């Protein structure tokens, strides 16, 4: 019984750690590109802009995925009702 309750927790921890590695692996090259391509006097503004775009992308992406899942579930429900 204890093993059943621990398995979802260990899977979640594993997935979150893999996700964290993926985030950090892509962050360093992106920040290096920003520092190479941005003019020295506006480098901090470029970092701030990139960070805000990442945050907005997360927000909009989550909202869009929620909306698409809702639309899909309504269509699936209507399709199921049509078959009855």
More confident residue, 1 or 59: 59
Using one digit for the tens of pLDDT, what is the confidence trace for 5-29? 556 667 777 777 777 677 777 788 8
This prediction's pTM: 0.57
Q: Look-up: residue for tokens 């269509």?
A: 75
Using one digit for the tens of pLDDT, what is the confidence trace for 34-74? 999 999 999 999 999 999 998 999 899 999 988 888 888 87
Taking alpha carbons only, the member of 34, 68, 62, 32 closest to residue 48 is 34
pLDDT of residue 82: 63
Domain count, the chain: 2
Both structure tokens of 68: 């698409």
Q: Which domain holds residue 3?
A: 1-37
More confident residue, 75 or 63: 63
Do residues 54 and 66 make contact, with C-beta atoms less than 8 angstroms apart? no
Residues 67, 80, single domain; the answer is yes
Residues 55, 83, single domain; the answer is yes
């Amino acid at each position: 019984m204890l093993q059943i309750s621990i398995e979802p927790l260990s899977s979640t921890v594993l997935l979150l750690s893999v996700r964290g590695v993926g985030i950090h692996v892509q962050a360093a090259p992106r920040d290096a590109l920003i520092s190479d391509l941005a003019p020295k006097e506006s480098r901090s503004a470029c970092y701030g802009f990139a960070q805000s775009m990442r945050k907005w992308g997360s927000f909009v992406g989550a909202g869009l995925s929620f909306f698409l899942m809702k639309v899909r579930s309504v269509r699936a429900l209507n399709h199921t009702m049509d078959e009855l």
